[in-house]
Structure 1
Amino acid sequence: MILQSLLGPVDPASALTGLIGLSVLSFFVSGVLSAAYRWYFREPIPRGLAALFGVGAVALYLNTVGLLGRVIGTPGGDPFDAAGIGINLLTLFGAFVATVPGRRVGDGLRSEFTAAAGARELNAGVSRALRGVARLSAVELPAAEDIEDMPSHDPVPEAVKAELGGKTLLFPRANADSIHDRLTTRLKEDYNVGYVDAEIDADGTVTFLALGSRLAGIGPTLGPGTCAVAVEADPASDAGPGDVVQVWTVPEAAPIIPEAAEPPEAVPDGASEAEQPRRVTTAELRATAGETVTLVVDENDADALSPDRRYRLLTLPVAAGTDREFASLLRAADETLGVVELPEGSPLAGVTLADLDATVVAVRDPGGALDSLPAGERALAVGDAVYAIGRPDVLRSLEERARPADAGSS
């Protein structure tokens, strides 16, 4: 009786049906919007935004179909009827409540549909049944604190490690090697990672992960038998990294020779032997910082350069060498250069180069002799230094094979 007196001429059954129907409309609108928002922005939709669109859809219906229908369709209908206003407010409240589960369901369905469509990344876990139906392989990354930095490479930002820590990546089901390649490509393209060293077990868990942004310094680009030396010099104004230069001493009692002039061929009258300019070596210019110049020289000529003496550099009109071009290509490739030395008791002693997974470009024996591009039948010996090119995980595996068994157990 009380409800009938409040509603007046309004039918309670039709009012309840309208309330439920419009709540379902709000649920549907908020769910669809949540799924679309998650797909586009890859994060949950704000609660207020989902509620605004869900309730807005119901309010649009009430102000068009409901209100106009009451005025036009019902003769003598009053748009300001108290019972109608009360039902509208109750309907809007029900629509607001329906947006809460609609937002959750839409966000959850977006994750499941993404996995079924072959998505490669999920923050939340995916059911095993769905993985089997969609034929996906899930790769779980280790926690952020377990992601290591690669030696000889600049570390990746900590924010990248925090974003990758504990994340599950999905790939089309394939063998372990294919998943490893897909994981490496995924991390490089989407997270701006330069180098990836990963080990994946049979169930898709990453047991080891090391990341690096790029090769650090010039050390990895130095060829066998060369080293980098910083000296005080007066380089030519047009000299740049990669140029081949001659290193000349500067007479202590004589002024510096102009850049355009050539070193004197003979000792001036009255000049001592110490004042005579002489050529020390030929080097490659790598970097300049004021009067400090970094040169790449043969390791046998490094002792001839003194940190207490000033030098002058003469640029030679020759093209960059193939070693420099090779170093530039190596920086852009997935592979890198590593040096592995065979200590006493190394299991690799007596193993031929053809049995190694990496590409060997040179071998230096204990006496210092360098064998470039050795044949695959060459057997390794204790004390050899192997210069190999390969992916970081291949080089790390080669280093582990070169260690003696007692060193690995300790």
Structure 2
Amino acid sequence: MLLGEIDLLPALGQLFGLSVLAFLVSGTASVGYRWYFREPIPRGLAALFGVAAVALYLNTVGLLGRVIGTPGTDPFDAAGVGVDLLTLLVAFVATVPGRRLGDALRADLASAAGAREVNASVGRALRGVARLSAVELPAADEIEDMQSHDPVPAEVKTELGGKTLLFPRSNREALRDRLVTRLKEDYGVGYVDAELAADGTVTYLALGSRLAGIGLTLGPGTCAVAVEADPASDAGPGDIVQVWTTPNATATAEGDAGEAPSSPRRVTTAELRATAGETVTLVVDEADAAALSPDERYRLVTLPVSARADQEFASLLRGVDETLGVVQIPEGSPLVGTTVGDLESAVVAVRRGTGAIDALPGSERVLEPGDSVYAIGRPDVLRGLEERANSR
């Protein structure tokens, strides 16, 4: 044998026992990390804990046992090294379910014990004795609704009002990002606009719901239609497809000589939005919607073209925190006389009074009283821009 003689049963026993050890260690590390940092443990860190425990055993108990238990034998023989390497590999695999179980167990325990928040006085004490930042949220009636977004349910504000959340100690910007992520993932909030003071106190909090459905994403002159179709196997949401009729198979099957099978006919070109079995949702021009029949089956053919830039931009914009806002420049505003390049957000257009829109203005474009600035940025950036425009 290449690896020499191996005592199979003890080797299998060691393999199983140390795999269980890696499973338990990674699970315990996941529970502890989740409790301390209030975040899932990174995959690599959980694997490191589990594999390190197994490696510690192999390098001490296992290796020492071979040296002392059987004097005169080579502790680094090929068979022993092969078994150890296989054990480390299986232990690494065992850390994956261990991490998942530990993370799920901690989440269930926290939910059952009501440990998703801590008392405010306890949070303040933790700031001094642990490397934690306790962020206390405003009362429910002080949580604002974000403009341009649907409001969150009142129950969500009630649940969040006055809570104190724990995070790893970090700078203000990182702490804000962690707070936004926590509110989105744990409480189902779509959009968060938060402002933190230097000591981590939340001075402003506004929430919004993420809009659902495709109605608000339809362009002018388009509509969404659901039809029965054979979707192209390589097509996905956002792809441009041709919609073709299918041959009249009924006449052929019945052998009706009086009705010849119809040939395929292209109906329209559409954008694929969603598929559910044989039901396909398409976005088409309003003029082409009447050509699609609910009683007919269609075939979709994917066009070998790249996605349109406007569709790709709209898709990306829907999935990020940035939004489009309009800021009015009143008379006497500090922004009067400044240029577009002086603003912190991306300006896509400026309207002067009730005149025409200046799309994609240059950075040297001077702002004047009565201008309407169309800017893209995070809600807190747009809010700061509006406060700056209206300050005296």
TM-score, normalised by the number of residues in structure 2: 0.48
Larger Rg: 1
